[in-house]
Structure 1
Amino acid sequence: MNRQQQMLDEISMDAELTAEMTGRSAFSPDTMEAMASVPRNQFVPEELLAQAYYNIPLPIGHGQTISQPYMVALMTDLLDPKPEYNCLEVGTGSGYQAAVLSRLVKKVYSVEINPVLHLQAKARLERLNFNNIDCILGGEKLGFIEHAPYDGILVTAAADQIPPALIDQLTNGGRMLIPVGPQHLGQTLYLVDKNKQGKVNKKPLLAVRFVPLLPVKESSGREPG
């Protein structure tokens, strides 16, 4: 068995183990196919190539990480992506999560606040022909309001609270996955559903560990809540 297939098998096992918390005992064939189609070895530092297909997060420099493959698959699957979706990712990092999601949706807008990581990810995704991803260098505003609203939003860094600015950028009927909580006290992955009438439901799923979301001004002009 090659290392990539072993990674996929471990993702499936983790899905079964966490099913009681996530509601997903198995991820969709489309999600697993997307995971299989993206070469994770292209998204990790050269010195960590031997660990590229381990089911663990890995450092990518600048205090950031490439997420555990299981977590990428979980967040992708829980978004319930559809081919016509326009999605937002907050925290490009290496570009791996954006690459996986791009296999399942029409367009991904991915925002990164670190200029070095932004340029590296942009060049990497262009080289690998992920043509439906727009990499955006983040500024003072959270998210990317210029192309809102989005059918789905993935946040790959932990916020202290669920930011209203991102809920505002979610279309009615859309959903968001976001880790919430400080590193030292523990974090929880939340599924945020916004129904067709604009009512928001926030559901805690399971304990996670992400790097912190760097503070920016709220694009809605409101404080996080």
Structure 2
Amino acid sequence: MRQYEDTYRHKGLRKNLITSLKQKGITDERVLEAINALPRHFFLDTAFDAIAYEDRAFPIGEGQTISQPYTVAYQTQLLEVKSFEKILEIGTGSAYQASVLAEMGAYVYTIERQKKLFDANKNFIFKSKYPHLKFFYGDGFEGLPTYAPFDKILITAAAPYIPVPLKAQLKVGGKMVIPVDEGNAQRMLRLTKENEEGSFREEAFDQFSFVPMLTGKRG
């Protein structure tokens, strides 16, 4: 059975990571505090322990990755997370991004389409720490209409287009952060829902590279 230990060395490496994120333009102190509080090495295979705090993505199985810390920080900063907000995340993966949101006091509903990754999170180490983090197995393009509306929606995979059901599940005044476009690079977009008729204000930011967002579920 894996032994989870957060040593002084790990904490020192996290501090170095936070310094790096600040140098790259992350200014939201609550985002930085959440990343500093989370032992990223807990979300990775023990083989990655020595390099878990390098600012890069790592494979987690099923063709998926745990995102680069800068990408996690960037998306979270754009989302402008507040305590007690209800946030839908598309693409649970390792649950690292979801945990950052939960650490910031959000009520997180996260969907994973890969059954193996969903099952791996059944023994999620921080279940007792984050009781308001809920895991779902399903199609991210459909969202979670039963639990809508959401204050914020975060998509952690490259969407070929903005899914209409997700736009419908966002509250008026709510924000969605989504990397859009196929190919090697995606535009990071932030959409703000302006009214019940479904009018959105769109802002475009930097380009990133994500694994593709796929329809349906994979058993």
TM-score normalised according to structure 1 size? 0.85
**Alignment partner, residue 33 of structure 1:** 33
Provide, for residues 190-218 of structure 1, a one-character-per-residue CA deviation record: whole Å limited to 9, x for no partner.
1111125652012221110000001239x
Contact 2:91 2:140 survives alignment (8 Å): no
**Alignment partner, residue 155 of structure 1:** 155
**Alignment partner, residue 57 of structure 1:** 57
- Aligned counterparts of 1:6 and 1:121: Cα–Cα separation in 2: 28
* 2:190 partner amino acid: L
- Aligned counterparts of 1:11 and 1:154: Cα–Cα separation in 2: 20
The answer as to 2:214 corresponding to 1:211 is no
1:41–1:191 CA distance, 2 compared to 1 (3 A): same
1:140–1:44 CA distance, 2 compared to 1 (3 A): closer
- Aligned counterparts of 2:171 and 2:186: Cα–Cα separation in 1: 26
3-state DSSP of counterpart to 2:92? coil
Contact 2:31 2:77 survives alignment (8 Å): yes
**Alignment partner, residue 79 of structure 1:** 79
3-state DSSP of counterpart to 2:162? coil
- Aligned counterparts of 1:58 and 1:160: Cα–Cα separation in 2: 23
Which structure 1 segments of 5+ residues have no match?
A: 16-25, 218-225
1:89 deviates by: 0.3
**Alignment partner, residue 92 of structure 1:** 92
Which structure 2 segments of 5+ residues have no match?
A: 1-8
3-state DSSP of counterpart to 2:183? coil
Matches within 5 A, 1:1-225: 2-15=12-25, 26-127=26-127, 129-139=129-139, 142-184=142-184, 186-196=185-195, 198-216=198-216
Equivalent pairs, count: 206
3-state DSSP of counterpart to 2:73? helix
- Aligned counterparts of 1:140 and 1:127: Cα–Cα separation in 2: 22
- Aligned counterparts of 1:138 and 1:51: Cα–Cα separation in 2: 32
TM-score normalised according to structure 2 size? 0.88
Percent identity reads: 34
Provide, for residues 114-143 of structure 1, a one-character-per-residue CA deviation record: whole Å limited to 9, x for no partner.
111012123224456322100001148621
* 2:92 partner amino acid: T
Contact 1:99 1:125 survives alignment (8 Å): no
1:105 deviates by: 3.3
- Aligned counterparts of 1:28 and 1:191: Cα–Cα separation in 2: 17
Contact 2:43 2:96 survives alignment (8 Å): yes
- Aligned counterparts of 1:215 and 1:188: Cα–Cα separation in 2: 20
- Could you tell which deviates more after superposition, 93-102 or 161-170? 161-170
* 2:186 partner amino acid: Q
3-state DSSP of counterpart to 1:94? coil
3-state DSSP of counterpart to 2:171? strand
3-state DSSP of counterpart to 1:182? coil
User: Which of structure 1's runs of 4+ aligned residues deviate more than 6 A?
Assistant: none
3-state DSSP of counterpart to 1:87? strand
C-alpha RMSD over aligned residues: 1.9
- Could you tell which deviates more after superposition, 119-128 or 95-104? 119-128
* 1:154 partner amino acid: L
1:27 deviates by: 2.3
